[in-house]
Structure 1
Amino acid sequence: MENLLTEIRGCEVCKAHLPLKPRPIISGSIKSKIILVSQAPGRKAHVENKAWDDPSGKKLREWLGVNEEVFYNPDNFAVLPMGFCYPGKAKTGDLPPRKECAPLWHSKVWEQFENVKLILLIGKYSQDQYLGKLSKKNLTENIMHYEEYLPKFFLLPHPSPVNHFWRRKNPWFEEDIVEVLQDLVAEIL
């Protein structure tokens, strides 16, 4: 696994399309229990070379019911974004993840895991990729029907502060579903 992660961290396939030099961010171990499949690292993650070390990560850890020590232990959580490098800024939030990463690397990474108990699909990009035709018409519908995807997948909105409108419009997520997620994570860990 370490050799593959080193190879991925050296990838420059989409270099010409990135606003900053490539800096693929991925983590995990063969023992990772919960896999976080998300969009792509933000600018802060790129600069600090650490995924989820921002307000989005703080909110995600709150939803998961874990502290930083538990979260950053690769035997607990693996970080497998749809795009490994910061894609650049859009009007609101970041650009979509580059399309090269998942087809090039995901299957190789999945072959390494030996202990996966749950896959968290964070945001619509990962949900569309991994659910395929089982994905509903939108993120809200996917999350409302999260039980249909268990025990393999658990679906989440992106925890970004930019996404606060969705959370405000859908209070049932934090009122009802987060507790289910926390119980499941606690049981797995």
Structure 2
Amino acid sequence: METLDQLLKRIARCQICQPHLSHKVRPVLQAASDARVLIVGQAPGTRAAASGLPFDDASGDRLRDWLGVSRTQFYDPKLFAIVPMGFCYPGKGSSGDLPPRAECAPAWREQLLAHLRDIRLTLVIGQYAQAYHFGKASGGVTACVYGWQHHGADIMPLPHPSPRNNLWLRRNPWFEEELLPVLKARVAGAISTETR
């Protein structure tokens, strides 16, 4: 089996979705074989695509606040693997960014996840990631996140931290009151230097 570094180099050269995009492809992800927390997002936005850093925008600021971690911790691949469903910015749609390109997950996901052998906690963000990880049982973002306690201690569904979801957050105060304290505690435990 190839090393993770070799796989990441192949992913960096990937062009499979280029025929469907009006801009150049730029895979944006972060991974190390000893990462502790896996963040499964949807696809990078325009700022992340420009900088090459996942969640390098207001969504990332909110997500880091939810997790209770610093920017330095968040971008440490030995702590956090950030592997979206689509690695390249998919383009703009009529009401926000388009869905992740469908070619990406079948081409790369299983190969990449096979290298992440020390994941202690998986955070599944947004409808596309939740549909992949929980299947039809996800029931949509609100139902999936509301049922977070039924998924086990090693995986947590989250809404997207985008400012576009401010209304969702106002309508679902239980998220900040009940889920966020547990999320912060689970993240702190997962990235702790103590072995479990």
TM range, smaller chain = over 0.9
Residues 5 and 26, structure 1, Cα contact 8 Å, conserved in 2:
no
RMSD: 0.9
Residues 87 and 97, structure 1, Cα contact 8 Å, conserved in 2:
yes
2:108 paired residue number: 105
Cα deviation, 1:127-185, whole Å, max 9, x if unaligned, reads: 001111432x2211111110111223111000001111111111110121111100111
Counting only pairs closer than 5 Å after superposition, residues 24-173 of structure 1 correspond to structure 2 as 24-135=27-138, 137-173=139-175
What is the count of residue pairs matched by the alignment? Answer: 188
- Does residue 13 in structure 1 map to residue 16 in structure 2? yes
> Which amino acid letter does the alignment assign opposite residue 29 of structure 2?
I
In structure 2, how many angstroms separate the alpha carbons of the residues matched to 1:186 and 1:60?
14
Structure 2: any 5+ residue segments left out of the alignment?
192-196
SS at 1:87's partner residue? coil
1:186 paired residue number: 188
* Runs (4+) off by over 3 Å: none
- Structure 1 position 49, deviation (Å): 1.1
> Which amino acid letter does the alignment assign opposite residue 151 of structure 1?
A
In structure 2, how many angstroms separate the alpha carbons of the residues matched to 1:106 and 1:13?
14
In structure 1, how many angstroms separate the alpha carbons of the residues matched to 2:96 and 2:165?
9
Structure 1: any 5+ residue segments left out of the alignment?
none
SS at 1:25's partner residue? coil
